[in-house]
Amino acid sequence: MNMFHFKFMLVLLFFTIKSRGQQMYVGNLVLDCDNTDVTGPSPAFLYTCNGMQPSCSSFLIFRTQPLYNTVMTISNLMSIDHTSLAHINNITDSNKILPLNKELIIPVTCSCSGEYYQANTSFVIPTDDDTYYTIANYTYQGLTTCSSLLRRNVYDPLNLHPGQKLQVPLRCACPTVSQTTEGTKYLLTYLITWKDSIKKISKRFKVQSQDLALANGFSSVDDDNIYPFTTLLVPLSTEPSKSMTRTLGQKSSLSKKYIIAGTITGTFTAVLFILFVSYLWWKSNRANRGKNVKWALPKDIKLGIASVDQQLKVHKFEEIEEATDGFSLQNRLSASVYKGNLKGKTVVIKQMGAKAAKEVKILQKFNHFNIIGLYGVCEHDRACYLVYEFMENGSLKEWLEDKNKTSHESQTWTNRIRIGLDIAKGLQYLHNFASPAYVHKDINSSNILLSKALRAKISKFGLARLSDKDQNGNSSIKCPSESKGYLAPEYLETGFVTTKTDVYAFGVVLLELVTGRKAVYVNDDDGEEVMLSEEVLSIFGDEKHATDKVNYLIDPRLQARHPLGFVIDQDELALRMIRLAIACLEPEPSRRLCMNEIVSTLMRIQIDAPSSETMLMV
């Protein structure tokens, strides 16, 4: 059956179900970002307006996850009153951190808007990694759809940036005439998880299996080909209660208790039995996971795996899934980034959007110590997963902002200078030795990653461009908000990009290393936003008095004492670093240093810098 006939049958089935007054379950089609409803309203967007009332009280199930694990954070995410959320879930402390994967009942007002029911909320994009797909299926856990987000918002799906505010329609519905006649007062939107079935769900919510099946367009309770990350409507005669919710993963912890108890009592047979059952459960779970899940990306984003160089490993989806423990929340680092273990090696696995093909095309050509390593790729159901080396100390931005660090490593000039030199060498390679040469175009402290040994590597090449091409043309001036404070004046004015664009951004990073401040920070005295580069340039506009203000600029953590007790004067070292940064920040691109000169200067500063092993930091 081709796609046209399949969609025709879905539309026909929809109208058949609508005539019976129920909603229709369309499975993994809701995960597709390219759905259309030109022939009529489609449940692949949201649930259709077929109820007796245009507005009603409704309920959703949401599972706690990092960032959204208190009543306050979840109520903000859903735009509901936190007292109502706390009351229905019997929670007394709205700021208490709840267990991971704990189900909460979300009370909402569901209203008909056009042809679809929805509960409205809004969401401010937090990171550059977020997409309509990840927001719908990770942040909101399938309680909205990629297609409905695309329709409700004006932002280009390939140019989503932190700070943009999205309108989010949540999946909900009101009871039909027939459901109301049979005693249904509420419909609850339930997110399906592994091993769920109509019979299991109906038992947990104390409803008839036939009613649950009919509410979702199934002809019988045995016809329940349902998939994780999609939703079902549960018809309820009374408001849902806390007793209907659960915390996923509790069974696993109970099994461990039994194993420990069996070991203590020495019941060898019981231990063997538990291990055997656990093995069967693991084997069955592994076989089921990944079988039903569909990942969706726009049709024009296809990664040509066949074009990948032989040294880049092509992984099976099962390997990726096993490495991340089924993409568990415990392994999740951000919206679509997971820590994993592939054959004993710790890696980072990232689900990529539009920039995946470009990232692979660029990184597979590079082999340099100061460029992040791309180990492998995976293509599964039109989604792309990239496998990177794991950097234990996270981003340079996070490392510098952690003011609580008291370890010796964060307080030495030796480490700061070496990090700067590592970044410079990475850019030197991109500009002069890579074939072809590239401009990174998005150098900032968030895109510099640090290893366990505090060696720096440049990451995120989604905006990179060929150097030769950039010399002769302009670039789009759309950049992630994280780049604020790093963008060269000629880029802001005209969109013009050259290797000197990277040099300017590097100058700002160098200032961050010296001062420990953000590229854009808020002044404690007046609350005004300060551009670090502008502040330093204004101070050093008068070189005569600039040296008197060096101590004001130096990160206090870099103040050092000699073992005999006196303060070591490091003004000259700081001045050399700041002057190098200023040379990178020249308004005229042609007057800025090139990366070869920067590397050479930093190497001389590194040689002259006092050894951190001879200092005792205050």
| pLDDT tens sequence across 495-554 | 889 999 999 999 999 999 999 999 998 887 777 888 999 999 988 876 666 667 787 888
pLDDT at 17: 41
Residue 530 token pair: 């300060």
* Whether residues 479 and 590 fall in one domain: yes
* Whether residues 412 and 502 fall in one domain: yes
Please give the backbone phi and psi of residue 292, each rounded to the nearest 5 degrees, phi first.
-100, -15
Structural domain includes residue 471: yes
Asked if 106 and 80 touch (Cβ cutoff 8 Å), the reply is: yes
pLDDT at 295: 35
* Whether residues 127 and 206 fall in one domain: yes
Tell me: cis bond preceding 157? Omega within 30 of 0 counts: no
CA 377/CA 387 separation, integer angstroms: 6
* Whether residues 194 and 263 fall in one domain: no
Structural domain includes residue 331: yes
Structural domain includes residue 613: yes
Domain ends where: 321, 355, 389? 389
Active site residue 442: yes
Instruction: Count up the domains in the chain and report the number.
Output: 4
Catalytic hit among 32, 129, 422, 442: 442
pLDDT at 356: 81
* Whether residues 67 and 183 fall in one domain: yes
Domain ends where: 389, 412, 429? 389
Asked if 187 and 231 touch (Cβ cutoff 8 Å), the reply is: no
**CATH code of 382's domain:** 3.30.200.20
* Whether residues 13 and 67 fall in one domain: yes
CA 584/CA 595 separation, integer angstroms: 9
Domain holding 48, by residue range, is 3-244
* Whether residues 93 and 43 fall in one domain: yes
Q: Please return the burial class of 185, using the count of CB atoms within 10 Å of its CB with bins 0-12, 13-18 and 19+.
A: middle
| pLDDT tens sequence across 66-75 | 789 899 999 9
* Whether residues 236 and 282 fall in one domain: no
Strands annotated E in 64-171? 103-113, 116-124, 165-170
CA 521/CA 31 separation, integer angstroms: 39
SS3 206: coil
Which amino acid is it at 243? S
Q: Are strands 55-63 and 186-191 parallel, antiparallel or unpaired?
A: parallel
* Whether residues 31 and 160 fall in one domain: yes
**CATH code of 455's domain:** 1.10.510.10
Asked if 157 and 298 touch (Cβ cutoff 8 Å), the reply is: yes
pLDDT at 563: 56
* Whether residues 475 and 541 fall in one domain: yes
* Whether residues 372 and 470 fall in one domain: no
Q: Which residues of the chain have pLDDT under 70?
A: 1-21, 223-224, 249-311, 353-355, 381-382, 403-410, 468-482, 542-547, 560-569, 610-618
Structural domain includes residue 195: yes
CA 493/CA 473 separation, integer angstroms: 14
Q: Please return the burial class of 341, using the count of CB atoms within 10 Å of its CB with bins 0-12, 13-18 and 19+.
A: middle
Asked if 328 and 252 touch (Cβ cutoff 8 Å), the reply is: no
pLDDT at 444: 95
Handedness of CA 525, 527, 533, 539 (dihedral sign): negative
Count of CB atoms situated within 10 Å of the CB of 338:
22
* Whether residues 145 and 180 fall in one domain: yes
Which amino acid is it at 170? L
Count of CB atoms situated within 10 Å of the CB of 262:
18
